[in-house]
Structure formats: structure tokens, C-alpha cells
């Protein structure tokens, strides 16, 4: 009996094993089919994805090719901006009183108002244009270039400082000298410094010895040099006021003159005013700046007092006396010495007119 039971148990276990084998085979077949379906789907998706990637790559290649084509001829570099012509305006302030005495009152000075002249009382009127050469001994204070708490003391820098702050307006001299066309601050800086020029220079990186003759374009910008301005032009009017019975002179405008010299030969090519400023607008500013006095620093006058007292040397270059064509003397008389004589002749005519009004 025991043997039959053992045999029966063995047969049951063999049935169980057979059933498990059949079930595992069916499950493996189902998994393999599902894997085949999933791999097929992934292959299709990967094909689509790769096709998308290939299109994008082609697009990127085309774009890069277009970019490369556009960069074959690069645009010219923008011209370098010249050095700031108003760089002199950055003056450091003194942190302690720079004098024994209190000099703060100079900054609060105001000029006296002009005496009013009626049109009917202006019995005699003539206009005169003068040039002040600051290289003359009497005009050397115009070249004084010290620095103070209120800025550079050079006369030209005083004017440029006022233009930069917007206290006065610069007018274009190429149009006329009647103060009709204002100039911007940027235009003033361009006029006094000049534009940038493109020149060919040796490319020392590719040609260290300079024997191959390899050149490259370089942008050169000229810097503003106040030493180049050695003349100022003054436009003034002489009026005989019959109400007060005296000759009155009033300055209308001031213009710095720039002399253009050929760099190669050193010959003077010509002169031209850089800009005009209206003197009545400039008077309050000039009253706050003192003129250099080499003999005594304690006996200084203001720039406004210098012009009103006529403490400068000048030469007449144009007048409205017997000048129907409105020409400068140099356009009529070519000899330098004769031009000086003509200027003195104009001065004598104005002086003699006033003197002839009186009987002694």
C-alpha cells in the first residue's frame, strides 16, 4: 500500500510540473509578442524622430551657410569717436581753501547793465570786425592756462565750458555772423576736434619687419589742442549817442579763429572761425572769471572788465565804412602791410568823426 501511495504522489507532482511548464510557455509567448509589437512601434517612432532630426540638421546647415555667405564681406567698422573735446572740464575741486583770503565773491559778480540808447539818438553807427592775436605781448593773458575751482582759466576753455553747460549758445559761422543758426554741443565738439580719418598703416602682426608691404586700414582721430587757437575775432558796433554826446562801442560777438596748416609742407592754408557766441549772453559768465596779472595777483580784473575797458590789442579786418560789397580787407588788399595801414585808416575815420563834432 505504501508503494502505491508514493507512486500516486509522484504522478501528482509530475502533473503539477507539466501544468507549470505549459503556463510558463504560454506566458513567455505572450511576452515575446508584446515585445515584438513594442519594438516595431519604437522603430517606427525612431524613424520618424530621426527624420525630424535630419531635417533640422539640414536646416541648420543651410542657415550656417547663409550666415557664412553674409560674413564673407563684413560691414566696415564704425568710425572711432574722437577724444572728448570737453575733457578739460573735469577739474578736481580743492578740499581746502586754496588762498589766504576769501575769494568766493568772484563767483557772484554780475556786470552792470548797458545804458539804453534810443534809435533816434544813434546819430552815427558803424560796424567793425577785429582780430585779437593772443601771441602779442599785450594779449598774453588770453593764453593763461592755470586751473581753479571754477575750471580752466584759459579764455577759450571758459567759452567752451559755458557752451557745454548750456549757459550760452554757439552759432554756425558758415551761414553768417548774425547769430541765426545755433549749433549743438556735439557739432561744436566735432568742429573743434575734427572728424576721424581712415589711413593705411603697416600691419606689424603680419609683417613684423615691414619689408613685405602689408598694410591695413586704421582709424585716426585728431585730438583737440587749445594751443592751435591763437586768434579771436570780435564783431562790434560804434554808435554816437547824441543824447549823451559821446561815442559808445558795444561788442556783439566773439569767435575763436582756427588756422589750418598743411602737415607736410607747414604752409598756412587759411583761417576760419569755429563758432560765434553772442557777447551780451557771455558777459555774466566773463564777470565771474579773473584775468591773469603777472605783476600782482591781488590786482586782477574780470574778463568782462577787460573787454569793456578795451585792454587788448587788435587789428581791424573788416568794417562797414565804404564797403558796399561787404568784403574783408584781405579780399581787397593783398599786401599784408597795406592791410594794416587800411585798418588804422578805418580807426582814424571813426576817431576823427567824433572829434570833428566839437569846435575848440
Q: Domain locations in the chain?
A: 1-75, 99-193+224-356
pTM of the model: 0.71
Q: What's the average model confidence in pLDDT over 88-112?
A: 83
The confidence score (pLDDT) of residue 316 equals: 97
What is the model's pLDDT at position 37?
47
Most confident of 21-25, 53-57, 61-65: 21-25
Please give the Cα distance from 184 to 162 (Å, whole number): 13
Q: Which residues of 74-105 are buried (b: 16+ CB within 10 A; e: fewer)?
A: eeeeeeeebeebbebeeeeeeeeeeeeeeeee
| Residue 90: per-residue pLDDT | 72
Q: Which three cell numbers stand for residue 332?
A: 581787397
pLDDT over 90 at 208, yes or no: no
Given a cut of 90, is residue 55 above it in pLDDT? no
Provide the pLDDT for residue 13: 56
Mean pLDDT, to the nearest integer, of 147-154? 86
Residues 6+ apart with CB under 8 A from 127: 235, 236, 237, 238, 319, 320
8 A C-beta contact, residue 290 and residue 300: yes
**Cβ contacts of residue 258 below 8 Å, gap of 6+?**
192, 228, 229, 271, 272, 273, 274
Is 151's pLDDT higher than 50? Answer: yes
Q: How confident is the model at residue 315 (pLDDT cuts 50, 70, 90)?
A: very high
Mean per-residue pLDDT, 60-76: 46
Rounded CA-CA distance 255/276 in Å is: 5
pLDDT at 50: 44
Does the pLDDT at position 66 exceed 70? no
Residue 352 · residue 346 · CB < 8 Å? no
* Mean pLDDT for the chain overall: 80
What's the confidence (pLDDT) of residue 15?
A: 58
pLDDT for 76 equals: 52
Q: With b meaning 16 or more CB within 10 Å and e meaning fewer, what string describes 315-353?
A: bbbbbeeeeeeeeebeeeeeeeeebeebbeebbeebeee
Q: Looking at residue 8, what is its pLDDT?
A: 47
| CB-facing half-sphere around the CA of 108: CA atoms within 13 A | 4
Is 359 strand, coil or helix?
coil
Amino acid at each position: 500500500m505504501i508503494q502505491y501511495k508514493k507512486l500516486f504522489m509522484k504522478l501528482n507532482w509530475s502533473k503539477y510540473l507539466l501544468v507549470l511548464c505549459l503556463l510558463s510557455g504560454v506566458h513567455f509567448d505572450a511576452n515575446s509578442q508584446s515585445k515584438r509589437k513594442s519594438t516595431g512601434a519604437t522603430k517606427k517612432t525612431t524613424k520618424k524622430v530621426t527624420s525630424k532630426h535630419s531635417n533640422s540638421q539640414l536646416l541648420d546647415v543651410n542657415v550656417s551657410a547663409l550666415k557664412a555667405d553674409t560674413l564673407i564681406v563684413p560691414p566696415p567698422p564704425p568710425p572711432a569717436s574722437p577724444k572728448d573735446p570737453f575733457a578739460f572740464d573735469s577739474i578736481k575741486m580743492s578740499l581746502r581753501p586754496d588762498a589766504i583770503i576769501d575769494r568766493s565773491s568772484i563767483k557772484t559778480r554780475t556786470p552792470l547793465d548797458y545804458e539804453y540808447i534810443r534809435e533816434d539818438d544813434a546819430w552815427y553807427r558803424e560796424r567793425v570786425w577785429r582780430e585779437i592775436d593772443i601771441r602779442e605781448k599785450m594779449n598774453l593773458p588770453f593764453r593763461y592756462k592755470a586751473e581753479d575751482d571754477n575750471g580752466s582759466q584759459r579764455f577759450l576753455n571758459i567759452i567752451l565750458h559755458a557752451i557745454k553747460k548750456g549757459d550760452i549758445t554757439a552759432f554756425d559761422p558758415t551761414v553768417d555772423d548774425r547769430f541765426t543758426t545755433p549749433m549743438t554741443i556735439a557739432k561744436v565738439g566735432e568742429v573743434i576736434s575734427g572728424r576721424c580719418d581712415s589711413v593705411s598703416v603697416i600691419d606689424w602682426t603680419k609683417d613684423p619687419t615691414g619689408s613685405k608691404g602689408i598694410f591695413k586700414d586704421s582709424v585716426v582721430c585728431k585730438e583737440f589742442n587749445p594751443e592751435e587757437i591763437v586768434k579771436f575775432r570780435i564783431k562790434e558796433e560804434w554808435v554816437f549817442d547824441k543824447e549823451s554826446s559821446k561815442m559808445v562801442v558795444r561788442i556783439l560777438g566773439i569767435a575763436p579763429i582756427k588756422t589750418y596748416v598743411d602737415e607736410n609742407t607747414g604752409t598756412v592754408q587759411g583761417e576760419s572761425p569755429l563758432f560765434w557766441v553772442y557777447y551780451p549772453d557771455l558777459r555774466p559768465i566773463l564777470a565771474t572769471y579773473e584775468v591773469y596779472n603777472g605783476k600782482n595777483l591781488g590786482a586782477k580784473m574780470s574778463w568782462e572788465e577787460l573787454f569793456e575797458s578795451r585792454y587788448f590789442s587788435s587789428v581791424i579786418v573788416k568794417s562797414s565804412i565804404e564797403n558796399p560789397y561787404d568784403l574783408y580787407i584781405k579780399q581787397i588788399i593783398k599786401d599784408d602791410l597795406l592791410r594794416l595801414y587800411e585798418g588804422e585808416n578805418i580807426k582814424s575815420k571813426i576817431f576823427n568823426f567824433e572829434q570833428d563834432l566839437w569846435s575848440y
